Amino acid sequence: MNSISSDITPKKHYEILDGLRGVAAILVVAFHIFEAHGGGNRFVQIINHGYLAVDFFFLLSGFVVAYAYDDRWGNMTQWEFYKRRLIRLQPMVIMGMIIGALFYYFQASDILFPRIAGMEVWKVILTMIIGFTLLPIPPSMEIRGWGEMHPLDGPAWSLFFEYIANILYALFFRRFSNKVLAVFVVIFAGLLINYTIFGPKGDVIGGWSLNLEQMNIGFTRLLYPFFAGVLLCRLGKLIHVKNAFWICSILITIVLALPRFGDENSLWINGLYESFCIILVFPLIVAIGAGGQIKSEFSKKICKLLGDISYPIYITHYPLIYWYTAWVVDNKISLKQGYPLGIALLFTSILLAYLCLKLYDEPVRNWLQNKFQKKKAV
């Protein structure tokens, strides 16, 4: 008997897309730091559209999944696909929940999180274990008070929808021709436009609670960008420009940092902006990033580092944000007073992500790949 690998030969990475994912992840942390000082007022939030990074991630994910797997289904079962996605994503989901549980009692706040101080330990442990599976928690079991489906690590809601998108892709959408897929993408774009422009908020904020309204937001945010990413990859209409990484980094920073458009009486203006960004600008950025080349060794190293830590940053930073937000609210800390700690939190998030990557995520994924992506053959 000879041991042979069942691994499919890996394809080259889109280095620029990896780097852009890291840029967006760092902007998410900065957005959440500023959000702590906003008093819940979305009209004064600095890095106002930072939440659109999630929609950008969905589009990137659809593009990368199609690139990696569209032409491999003849040699790969659905279970093999699911295994690969679980090995890639699930270890850091578990780590995010563990960090969230460890930080939970440090986030106590009489104003913001009054439940924490009296919360039984067994409920925190149960929430953590359920979080390991990414199954959403109903509001009746929520231990923080914000109604989150993953109250120990809020951003995990988007991973829940990411898994749904992967299942939909494997079951149905991979089989569709480009024309059929394009029809669905247009329909999904229409749903997005209807919600952002004609909906009650003028933005896509939401998706993290297990109720009808929030689930509607979550699916509205998921369906267009993910499957538009799949279609974009299939069409192969990439844009080739010099300095693509730096151009795209500037573009994504501008998109996420611009102030909110309109006011309480003209919510549709901001909705129009967000639809424009998600439907047109984000695919443009991905097309430029995928079509670009990196010739500078410095840029290659930057993109690799940003790509490596992007997912760990996203899935581990929010327990620190809970603590920071509670501190700001309880002590009425202004941005001028809080910015030194906010900067420290940003760099701590990056360091924590890097340590998780090197000491946990990469070793665990390598072990899982060796154990579950091998087979015996005569």
Q: What is the pLDDT of residues 176-191, one digit of tens each?
A: 999 999 999 999 999 9
Residue 374 forms part of a structural domain: no
Average pLDDT over residues 206-233: 98
pLDDT of residue 3: 35
**Residue 27 CB burial class (10 angstroms; 0-12, 13-18, ≥19):** buried
pLDDT of residue 94: 98
pLDDT band with cut points at 50, 70 and 90 for residue 295? confident
Residue 376 forms part of a structural domain: no
Number of compact structural domains in the chain: 1
pLDDT of residue 13: 82
Residue 365 has pLDDT above 50, yes or no: yes
pLDDT of residue 11: 73
Question: How are the residues of the chain apportioned to helix, strand and coil, as percentages rounded to the nearest 5?
Answer: 70, 5, 25
pLDDT band with cut points at 50, 70 and 90 for residue 5? very low
Residue 38 forms part of a structural domain: yes
**pTM given for the model:** 0.95
| Domain, as residue range, for 153 | 2-368
Task: Enumerate residues 6+ apart whose C-beta is below 8 A from 326.
Answer: 107, 108, 109, 111, 112, 113
Residue 374 has pLDDT above 90, yes or no: no
Residue 228 forms part of a structural domain: yes
Residue 375 forms part of a structural domain: no
Alpha-carbon torsion 32, 36, 39, 45, what sign? Answer: negative
**pLDDT tens string 24-76:** 999 999 999 999 999 889 899 999 999 999 999 999 999 999 999 999 999 99
Mean pLDDT over each residue of the chain, to the nearest integer = 95
Residue 377 has pLDDT above 60, yes or no: no
pLDDT of residue 373: 80
Residue 255 forms part of a structural domain: yes
What is the percentage of the chain residues whose pLDDT exceeds 90? 93
pLDDT band with cut points at 50, 70 and 90 for residue 10? low
Which of the pair, 254 or 375, is modelled with greater confidence? 254
Q: Which residues of 119-142 are buried (b: 16+ CB within 10 A; e: fewer)?
A: beeeebeebbebbeebebbeeeeb
pLDDT band with cut points at 50, 70 and 90 for residue 144? very high
Residue 287, H or E segment = helix 282-291
Which residues, in sequence order, are bridge partners of residue 113? 109
Residue 18 forms part of a structural domain: yes
Residue 378 forms part of a structural domain: no
